Amino acid sequence: MTKIYIPFLAATLLASCAGNDVADKSTNTASAEKADDRDYHTLSNADSVAVTHLDLDINVDFDKRQISGSAHWDIRQIHPSNHVVFDTEDLTIDSVVMDDGSKADFKMGALDKELGKALSVAITAQTKSLTVYYKTGNATALQWLAPQQTASKKTPFLYTQSESIYARSWIPCQDGPGIRFTYNAKVKVPKDLLALMSAENPQQKSADGSYSFKMDKPIPAYLMALAVGDIGFKSIDNRSGVYAEHSMLDKAHKEFEDIGGMITIAEKLYGPYRWGRYDVLVLPPGFPIGGMENPKLTFSTPTIITGDKSLVNLIAHELAHNWSGNLVTNKTWNDFWLNEGFTVYFERRITEAMQGKSYVDMLWELSHQDLEASMKGLPERDTWLRLNLKGRHPELGLTDVAYEKGAHFLWLIEKTVGREKFDIFLKDYFNSHAFQTMTTSQFLKYLDEKLLNGHDDWKKAIDINAWIFGPGLPANCPTPDRERLSKVDAMIKKFEGGAIAADLGIKDWSTYEWLHFLRNLKTSVKAERLADLDKTFKLTQTPNSEIADIWFVQAIKAEYEPAYPAMKSFLLVTGRQKFLEPLYRTMMETGKAQMAKDIFAVSKENYHPLAQKNIEGIIKGDNKYE
């Protein structure tokens, strides 16, 4: 369930990486590979000349669908160099100006299909800062929505998604997770719109569409974010609130009203929240992912707003990133599990504190099912926690391995050393590495020094190597109690044995019981059985996107046609790839290619460019990632 279906671009990238020996079997390269902490996904020379601060001054032009302006960068020269190199993707560089007003010499490198182009600027030993004047092209990070794609239908909307390496498509920057900088920004937008960033934010519109932002903590480029639209704000407490399009605001506020308590729980676990305010921005439904941990302002899909708070663990996840990820950041995308695995573990701890153990045990179980399923489709080398993405796009690391194998590994450590000791360890880990980057080997060293040293029995029980530098799911993987889901298993049996829905005695099921029930129904369930379930539980009409998605998958398989109109409406507005992918794929796999094409033709415009590409791949039949 925590699966982010479809690494962006997976289809195209896999094809283009076919010549790359993914599972490098030669053992003598193994130790060199483990020690190689270079970031292969930035073209910058941040090891020699690193940016430290950005003053961004940009204009957002909805007619041209273009951002233009300047990026003034302060730089620090670590090793002597006569140039500083930035990442760019489809940017036009108009000029580069030195502090004394003189034009700098610059040149663009050759186009790398995945990494973009290097912008290399000549500097002297005295250069402390410079300004790049630029405009965006077809920027991967930007989704521009026409007015009719918003709730109000009156004004356009724009949002960014910079992770993993897309910040370079709207700002010339040193775009690696190991490179941090503070920033100020001036952003000019049409005057009836509000602009928000991953920074201190306004709570209401300005008179003339000019906004100023400040982020005084150093962050990596993938956390640069901007959203512009007819957005309102509603406060939750003195340090948190919700932003959304006006018609969503009250609903979103109600769903997220417990966020204050969530932050307090997180702080009790792993130390103070260090970013000042914590707000959530609810985006239009085309947002291609579930959530993004932009500092001070989590970006969220509206598909978690169900009316019963059952999907707010996604907010717990993005909140948790303010420790794991935003405070202590993976140095390279090979160490992605340090961001996501830690965050899933932390998210579950928050959820456990809020909902109880038997509830969170269901999340562990369902995610374990996801993990097993997705590992089956991955090349063996991509199932190690420490990835090797050299020469490949970082999105290929965006699988359940980083998330769930990572979280299960931490859960195993917790179970081995005891929760109390592990919590102290983690709190110290976040505190002592705040605003720093972390590699897998640094983490393992720290783990050994601070927690495992002198405890050979623990080390043996955990078997770090098998988890980090080995494939699949080691045999010592912890499993949750199945107190609640075993009852669901009994219901599945009963239903498959012929019992009618009304006689199952299902009541007070949470989302997760439903998900377990629906996803584990045999593929041979016939349409009339689904009709019976639907009549009793109104599943076609469910306001819960997670339940709807798996229900529609079953409906496609069983050709339960009464669910199709609702499914089509769902696919028309929802751009979240986790939901799109299984539905389009199931249509393709069950001989309904025409239906998939027809739905895609009318819905396409509402999907993010990357999601469009991905679904096109599925429809063409060339996405064989899993």
Contact positions vs ligand BES (CB under 6 A): 2, 4, 163-164, 289-293, 314, 317-318, 321, 340, 398, 578
The C-alpha atoms of residue 65 and residue 148 are separated, in whole angstroms, by 16
Of residues 73 and 333, the one with the C-beta less far from ligand BES: 333
Separation of CA 29 from chain center: 31
Dump strand ranges (E) for 301-431: 328-330
Residue in the block written with tokens 């026409």: 146
Of residues 337 and 517, the one with the C-beta less far from ligand BES: 337
User: Least distance to Zn ion from the beta carbon of 279, Å?
Assistant: 18
Of residues 317 and 484, the one with the C-beta less far from ligand BES: 317
- Phi then psi for residue 134, to 5 deg, are -155, 170
Q: Which does 292 bind (CB under 5 to 8 A by kind): Zn ion, ligand BES, none?
A: ligand BES
Of residues 73 and 364, the one with the C-beta less far from ligand BES: 364
Span interacting with Zn ion, options 337-345, 477-485, 519-527, 564-572, rule CB under 5 A: 337-345
User: Least distance to ligand BES from the beta carbon of 317, Å?
Assistant: 4
User: Least distance to Zn ion from the beta carbon of 343, Å?
Assistant: 5
Going 414 to 418 to 423 to 428, the CA torsion angle's sign is: negative
Residue nearest to ligand BES (CB): 290
For 432, counting Cβ atoms within 10 Å of its Cβ (0-12 exposed, 13-18 middle, 19+ buried), the class is exposed
User: Least distance to ligand BES from the beta carbon of 290, Å?
Assistant: 3
User: Least distance to ligand BES from the beta carbon of 512, Å?
Assistant: 13
Of residues 398 and 563, the one with the C-beta less far from ligand BES: 398
The C-alpha atoms of residue 93 and residue 129 are separated, in whole angstroms, by 17
User: Least distance to ligand BES from the beta carbon of 226, Å?
Assistant: 16
Span interacting with Zn ion, options 171-179, 277-285, 333-341, 522-530, rule CB under 5 A: 333-341
Residues annotated catalytic, as ranges: 318, 403
Of residues 258 and 559, the one with the C-beta less far from ligand BES: 258
Q: How many CB atoms lie within 10 A of CB 455?
A: 14
Q: Which does 290 bind (CB under 5 to 8 A by kind): Zn ion, ligand BES, none?
A: ligand BES
Task: Write the DSSP string, 143-187.
Answer: EEE-GGGSSSSSS-EEEE--TTTTGGGTS-B---TT-EEEEEEEE
The C-alpha atoms of residue 166 and residue 141 are separated, in whole angstroms, by 5
User: Least distance to ligand BES from the beta carbon of 4, Å?
Assistant: 4
Taking CA atoms, 425 is separated from 82, 326, 467, in Å, by 43, 18, 19
Span interacting with Zn ion, options 148-156, 223-231, 335-343, 613-621, rule CB under 5 A: 335-343
- Phi then psi for residue 218, to 5 deg, are -70, 130
Of residues 2 and 155, the one with the C-beta less far from ligand BES: 2
Q: Which does 549 bind (CB under 5 to 8 A by kind): Zn ion, ligand BES, none?
A: none
Order across the sheet with 180-188: list the strands.
91-98, 129-136, 66-77, 49-61, 180-188, 210-220
Of residues 343 and 540, the one with the C-beta less far from Zn ion: 343
Q: Which does 533 bind (CB under 5 to 8 A by kind): Zn ion, ligand BES, none?
A: none
Of residues 87 and 340, the one with the C-beta less far from Zn ion: 340
The C-alpha atoms of residue 369 and residue 315 are separated, in whole angstroms, by 22
Q: Which does 291 bind (CB under 5 to 8 A by kind): ligand BES, Zn ion, none?
A: ligand BES
User: Least distance to ligand BES from the beta carbon of 166, Å?
Assistant: 8
User: Least distance to ligand BES from the beta carbon of 519, Å?
Assistant: 17
| 36, amino acid identity | D
Q: Do residues 134 and 70 lie in contact, with contact meaning Cβ atoms separated by under 8 Å?
A: yes
Q: Which does 215 bind (CB under 5 to 8 A by kind): ligand BES, Zn ion, none?
A: none
Going 393 to 341 to 179 to 212, the CA torsion angle's sign is: positive
Q: Which residues of 166-181 are buried (b: 16+ CB within 10 A; e: fewer)?
A: bbbbbbbbbbbbbbbb
Q: Which does 89 bind (CB under 5 to 8 A by kind): ligand BES, Zn ion, none?
A: none
Smallest CA-to-CA distance from 183 within 154, 210, 212 is with 212
Of residues 240 and 343, the one with the C-beta less far from Zn ion: 343
**Given the DSSP bridges, would you call strands 436-438 and 328-330 parallel, antiparallel or unpaired?**
parallel
Dig out the tokens for 600 from the structure: 């895609």
User: Least distance to Zn ion from the beta carbon of 352, Å?
Assistant: 18
Q: How many CB atoms lie within 10 A of CB 512?
A: 23
Q: Which does 295 bind (CB under 5 to 8 A by kind): ligand BES, Zn ion, none?
A: none
Q: Which does 547 bind (CB under 5 to 8 A by kind): Zn ion, ligand BES, none?
A: none
| Touching Zn ion, residues 341-360 (CB under 5 A) | 343
Torsion angle of C-alpha atoms 245, 248, 254, 259, degrees rounded to 10: -40
CA angle (473 as vertex; 470, 478 as ends), nearest 5: 125
| 156, amino acid identity | P
Q: Which residues bind Zn ion (CB under 5 A)?
A: 340, 343
